[in-house]
Amino acid sequence: MATNEELFARAQRVIPGGVNSPVRAFRAVGGTPRFIQRGQGAYIWDAEGQKYVDYIGSWGPMILGHGHPAVVDAVQKALLDGFSFGAPTEREIELAEAILALVPGCEMVRLVSSGTEAGMSALRLARGATGRAKFIKFEGCYHGHADPLLVKAGSGLATFGFPTSAGVPEDVVKHTLVLPYNDIPALEAAFAEHGRELACVMIEPIAGNMNFVRASLPFMTLLRELCTQHGAMLVFDEVMSGFRVALGGAHSLFQQWIPGFKADVFVFGKVIGGGMPLAAFGASKEVMSQLAPLGPVYQAGTLSGNPVATACGLATLKEIAKPGFYEALGARTTALVRGLEAVAKDVGVPLVGDSLGGMFGFFFEQELPQNYATVMATDKERFNRFFHGMLQRGVYLAPALYEAGFVSAAHTQADIDHTLEAARESLLALKN
């Protein structure tokens, strides 16, 4: 049996950094990444047979836990019919109908294979529908690794961004404005200067790539008003929060909190694929009619609407739509976060957390951060030591302080209790 270290050394000889997605390399926290062999329910096992309570859940999709019987059965049956056809199937229609039934205001969707693909397609659609080039994104929000979205903030409140990645020409991001999250003055300044030129504003309503940070209600209310006033589209990127924080995603929550609220373009992923490569973007029928073959905005994908992925997604959506599912999931997640706060207070370590549905985050601070800059100013060293303490005690958290965590329906109270005991021991070790 190969060890994690042996597998990592082997991987680094054939895969850049030894991983196929950067955060998996443990660079932020140090140490050797765990090579996972299998998962079942709320648990995963690494190459050395170590069992962990899993709070990553493949970064969100595994809302039912690993290997849910209904999902496994649906996938096995779909496999017998064929892996891929490159032609329409009835299951694509069924999944589209299921998504639309759960998201009021979204009238049509196009299925794709990844969140990155959905995000870049939504941006192209907004630009094509408005005939404008410029758009706003927010620092700390991640919308995939398409070139115009790989930007970081410049030196000002309302400024154009510059590339965060080599290989992205400055000309490609010259139309991208990057603003601080939850910053009302910066938002007002950007619209005052560029409002007539903006195709859209793209936002994670619940940011999961700077840990867990909510858009404030005043900020989101103003954002909707400014987009309407200036004819820009509001793009809700719910790749992470969609069907995670609520059955209708964060959009359904903001509709409850803000009278008359509605996004213009929607981006989904993760949960709607149930762990398979599947994502989607959608809007009104009028806007979606701009897509080929109906309109001039081109988008295509050989594996889009894959029959195995759609079977997995459909089975997942069926399970999470059952009565009481989100009440139980939310209660379990809240118990975890409140428990972490209580344990930290008892030990004498500052810790504050937040959650919605099955998504959560925590910080070694007295107050919840509201934007990327405050998240990055939190105690990184303490988090790294805590992460390894939890890992040693069989709890698998995200290996970076700026990533959200996820609870599944498979997590039990016993799992929460074990996690909190591991947290107590790990926090006590921090003080020694």
Instruction: Tell me the C-alpha distance between 175 and 198, whole Å.
Output: 9
Distance CA 383, CA 362 (A): 10
Task: Quote the CA–CA distance of 352 and 366 in Å, as a whole number.
Answer: 6
Q: Which of 318, 390, 368 is nearest to 63 (CA)?
A: 318
Tokens of 2: 């190969």
What is the Cα–Cα distance from 229 to 201, expressed in whole angstroms? Answer: 13
Q: Which of 52, 142, 181, 396 is catalytic?
A: 142
Name the catalytic one among 54, 183, 237, 354. Answer: 237
Q: Which of 46, 270, 326, 396 is catalytic?
A: 270
Give yes or no: 237 in active site: yes
* 3-class DSSP string for the chain: CCCHHHHHHHHHHHCHHHCCCHHHHCCCCCCCCCCEEEEEECEEEECCCCEEEECCCCCCCCCCCECCHHHHHHHHHHHHHCCCCCCCCHHHHHHHHHHHHHCCCCCEEEEECCHHHHHHHHHHHHHHHHCCCEEEEECCCCCCCCHHHCEECCCCCCEECEECCCCCCHHHHCCEEEECCCCHHHHHHHHHHHHHHEEEEEECCEECCCCCEECCHHHHHHHHHHHHHHCCEEEEEECCCCCCCCCCHHHHHHHHHCCCCCCCEEEECHHHHECECCEEEEECHHHHCCECCCCCECCCCCCCCCHHHHHHHHHHHHHHCCCCHHHHHHHHHHHHHHHHHHHHHHHCCCCEEEEECCEEEEECCCCCCCCHHHHHCCCHHHHHHHHHHHHHCCEECCCCCCCCEECCCCCCHHHHHHHHHHHHHHHHHHHC
- Token couple for 177: 């404005």
Our answer to whether residue 142 is catalytic in this structure is yes
Please identify every residue annotated as catalytic.
142, 237, 270
